[in-house]
Amino acid sequence: MGSTGDFQLLCLENPLLDIQAECDDSVLQKYSLKANDAILAEESHMPLYNDLLSRKHALIAGGAAQNTARGAQYILPPNSALFIGCVGKDEYAEKLRSACAAAGLRVEYRVDEKQPTGRCGVVITGANRSLCTHLAAANEYKLEHLQSPEIWDLVKKAKYYYVGGYHLTVCVPAVMALAKEAAENPEKIFIMNLSAPFIPQFFKQQLEETSPYWDYLIGNETEVAAWAEAQGGDVKGKSVQEIALHMAGLKKVNEGRKRTVVITQGTEPTIVAVQGEEKVREYPVRTIEAEEIYDTNGAGDAFAGGFVAGIVQGKSLEESVDMGQWLAKLSIKELGPQYPSPKQTYSKA
């Protein structure tokens, strides 16, 4: 790649403003939250956001795939990554735009006139993060925006499509439009992230609609276990390695490209299964001292950003995984899903 990336990487999902605050367990109990979980907000959760704002808090540009897009752009040449989603017409949308501009990330938001910009309440209890998301405007993304001439022109020019699983709760037709565009053009790649256990649990049909198009699938051990549980049959209760091999071997539309499944496991080795291979590959994570860890929120998004940057740059699977681990290691030293400034340069482990 040269000095400019020509927006080869296009990412789609839900732009959110993260509201982070350190709390005690009483806040979890008050809103029926789990210490290390991610859920969509219900009516009973609506007071949470003002509750967090009344405490010492931080506002951070979030949304899983937007975090990943910022992470990929952190590594890639200028003008490489583009993010699409829906925001409201308010000050929080402007905060998101400013944060992304500072990261060098181009955004092409659909603006909804009625709903406010989406929010994610991040309840920090010790080393745990409980995420409670009110999609609001993010839930109003429309296929018409993606297919508008100016946006679809960007789609046609991009070569790598990255979609976060959270968008399966919003606009499946938009996800499928990107998936099919990739499948119909052999030089293009479609990358999907499972995002959270509730996606394969409660949006099983929507996820299954995308599965024949996965060129790369990214998830963690909890998410793939939830996927296996939802599938039932022989795959239920299997090891992470066995589930990865099973997922890699699922039916695929573009048979000219082998599917690759990448599963992170926190401090345990990253598992990679490639379609047609009988055994998984395992890559140990980069070590980090406990005292260096500041905030694990967004570590998975950062890994995806580094990994996808490697794929865009044509790196090997091994090096792409290492790039993901490198960026995740940088991210967990920061508050929230952020990356250090001044910018650091990747080097192999």
Q: Are 141 and 85 in contact (CB under 8 A)?
A: yes
Q: Which conformational region is residue 126 in: left (phi greater than 0), alpha (psi within -120 to 50 degrees), or beta?
A: left
> How far, in Å, are 70, 118, 268, 279, 294 from residue 67 at the CA level?
5, 15, 23, 31, 17
Q: Cα angle at 221 between 289 and 258, to 5 degrees?
A: 115
How far, in Å, CA of 85 to CA of 315, rounded? Answer: 28
Q: Are 178 and 213 in contact (CB under 8 A)?
A: no
Q: What are phi and psi of 261, to 5 degrees?
A: -110, 125
- The one catalytic residue in 51, 295, 301, 322 is 301
340, containing H or E segment: none
Query: Catalytic: 301?
Result: yes
Query: Is 78 exposed, middle or buried, given 0-12, 13-18 or 19+ CB atoms closer than 10 A?
Result: exposed
Burial readout 57-72 (b: 16 or more C-beta within 10 A, e: otherwise): bbbbbbbbbbbbbbbb
3-state SS, residue 276:
coil
**What's the full length of the chain, in residues?**
349
DSSP states of 64-109: HHHHHHHHHHHHSPTT-EEEEEEEESSHHHHHHHHHHHHTT-EEEE
DSSP states of 150-181: HHHHHHHH-SEEEEEGGGGGT-HHHHHHHHHH
Residues annotated catalytic, as ranges: 301
